[in-house]
Chains A and B, each alone.
Chain A
Amino acid sequence: MTSSTPAGNKDIREVAISLDQVSKWYGSFQVLQNVNLNVRVGERIVIAGPSGSGKSTMIRCINWLEQHQSGRIVVDGIELTSNYRNVDAVRKEVGMVFQHFNLFPHLTILENCTLAPIWVKKQSKKDADAVAFEFLEKVRIADQAHKFPGQLSGGQQQRVAIARALCMRPKVLLFDEPTSALDPEMVREVLDTMVRLAEDGMTMLCVTHEMGFARQVADRVIFMDRGEILEENVPDEFFSKPRHERARAFLSQIIH
């Protein structure tokens, strides 16, 4: 039995997420190849790479939406194993924002935000409502609280999804291509919301193609291809002189 704390690390408390030699296969196809990553509390990390490179799979492993098959993932001191108590504990600490929002269409914006706090954290409806309004204010959409998701624009829905995740007061937020499904004119409002979150010190892992966002807020850019992390770099260097050949090829393709 391995212990749940990574060995030989001086400032252990500062590590929010650690991935150690994580691998995953779909059938015979290896989507993640010995991925190592440490995310410290308050760090903002952007994960870039071509489609099919395993970036989404990697962050989806962090809240057990997908299961890794070898290696270790430790989130806030809790190791992800098939023990459901650990999985539940991790999911309480980790919020996720999806490409397609995944709001619940049968619930109002407010109910979307209070569902998990009431049922998972056992908050009273009054407390949950208060928290929800606080975060809906933060994403500047409190005036729409009593509408249904279908009545809002894509950008508004994604901001609600961010507020919904924040209502669980997570220690880490994962973003899985949060702006990829949006009309171009909606992208800005969502990115602005994410920038404000970053300024508040939220620990963030973002899979995104928004390189402007990466430059503006990321502490580190992780470049992945074919299931491997090929480069970890500060944004300025990653964009001006990427070290890896495939990172250069990728950047030349997405920056016009």
Chain B
Amino acid sequence: MKYLLGAVDTVPLLLDGLVTTLLICGLASILALVGAVCIVAARRSGIGVVVWTAKVYVTLMRGLPIVILVFLLYFGVPALFDLGRVSALWVGVLALAMNGAAFQSEVLRGAIARLPNGQTEGAYALGLNKFQLWRLVLTPQVLPIALPALAGEIGFLIKASPVLSLITVVDLTRRAQQVTMQTFDPLGPLLAACFLYFLLIGSISWVSRYLETRLTVGRTR
């Protein structure tokens, strides 16, 4: 009980760390989704070298530990191009976005594969062009299918973000450690961080479920 109360007291001390985590993960998620759309477009382009590049990228990202990616971007790339010090926060955003894009592109690809047959032909036969096909026919159907898995990927991304504390980013996890070092309380700050992560990821899946029902309403019996 004492520890729980301690944890509740610690929550306000962690809020600036939470803001950093939110900022990094929010930006990274948006960039990852944009990247994922580009990867899917590349894989569907039918241009050999483009398709191949996208496939290799996805395979590499899926096989690479995110810590290594973060170190490569923070230490390796600046050394290679003589860039000097780079912003740890932006490296964090970039690393999570690059990793997330690969995984989210697989989610989108799976969702597209689950669309009913004949939607493309139906749209083309009516005279719709490719842009209208995607904007009006395919995307509105892909989204509700992909949403739960996309929310899951964003959850993974949030849970991967503490790795950025290794490159000096003071995110929620790092902040909790700092509080521990100042207060000599080994449990309270971590419990408080747990609670905040749980709230964050829980609210994302709640929003995704809400959107999913909103988007699919009335469609089937």
Shortest Cβ distance from B41 into chain A, in angstroms?
19
Other-chain contact of B121, A65, A88, A120 (Cβ < 8 Å): A65
B136 — which chain A residues lie within 8 A by C-beta? Answer: 115, 119
Instruction: Flag if B118 contacts A102 (CB, 8 Å).
Output: yes
Instruction: Flag if A119 contacts B122 (CB, 8 Å).
Output: no
A151 to B117, CA, bound (A): 18
Does B78 touch A at the CB level, under 8 Å?
Answer: no
Instruction: Flag if A115 contacts B126 (CB, 8 Å).
Output: yes
A161, closest chain B residue (CB): B122
B221 — which chain A residues lie within 8 A by C-beta? Answer: 150-151
A88 — which chain B residues lie within 8 A by C-beta? Answer: 127, 129
Candidate in B116, B124, B126, B221 with the most chain A CB atoms within 10 angstroms: B126
Does A95 touch B at the CB level, under 8 Å?
Answer: yes
**Given A105-B116, A119-B132, A148-B218, A168-B122 contact (CB < 8 Å):** no
**Given A148-B218, A148-B219, A120-B116 contact (CB < 8 Å):** no
**Given A100-B117, A100-B118, A119-B136, A105-B219 contact (CB < 8 Å):** yes
Other-chain contact of A96, B125, B129, B220 (Cβ < 8 Å): B125
**Given A100-B118, A104-B137, A116-B126 contact (CB < 8 Å):** yes
A116 — which chain B residues lie within 8 A by C-beta? Answer: 126-128
B125 — which chain A residues lie within 8 A by C-beta? Answer: 63, 65, 91, 94-96, 98, 102, 165
B119 — which chain A residues lie within 8 A by C-beta? Answer: 102, 104
Interface size band for A = 20 to 34
**Given A119-B128, A119-B132, A119-B136, A105-B122 contact (CB < 8 Å):** no
Does B178 touch A at the CB level, under 8 Å?
Answer: no
Does B165 touch A at the CB level, under 8 Å?
Answer: no
Instruction: Flag if A102 contacts B124 (CB, 8 Å).
Output: no
Interchain pairs with CB closer than 8 A, number: 70
B129, closest chain A residue (CB): A88
Candidate in B123, B125, B218 with the most chain A CB atoms within 10 angstroms: B125
Instruction: Flag if A91 contacts B126 (CB, 8 Å).
Output: yes
Residues 208-232 of chain A, each 1 if its beta carbon lies under 8 Å from chain B, else 0: 0000000000000000000000000
Instruction: Flag if B219 contacts A106 (CB, 8 Å).
Output: yes
How many residues of chain B are within 8 Å of chain A by beta carbon?
A: 22
Which residues 134-152 of B sit at the A interface, judged by CB distance below 8 A? Answer: 136-137, 140-141
Instruction: Flag if B141 contacts A106 (CB, 8 Å).
Output: yes
Residues 60-71 of chain A, each 1 if its beta carbon lies under 8 Å from chain B, else 0: 000111000000
Shortest Cβ distance from A251 into chain B, in angstroms?
30
Which residues 47-93 of A sit at the B interface, judged by CB distance below 8 A? Answer: 63-65, 88, 91-92
A168 — which chain B residues lie within 8 A by C-beta? Answer: 126-127
Does A205 touch B at the CB level, under 8 Å?
Answer: no
Other-chain contact of A98, B122, B129, B141, B219 (Cβ < 8 Å): B122
B122 — which chain A residues lie within 8 A by C-beta? Answer: 98, 102-104
Instruction: Flag if B118 contacts A105 (CB, 8 Å).
Output: no
A96 to B128, CA, bound (A): 13
A24 — which chain B residues lie within 8 A by C-beta? Answer: none
Instruction: Flag if B121 contacts A98 (CB, 8 Å).
Output: yes
Which 5 A-B residue pairings sit nearest by Cβ, starting from the closest? A102-B122, A116-B126, A102-B118, A150-B220, A96-B125
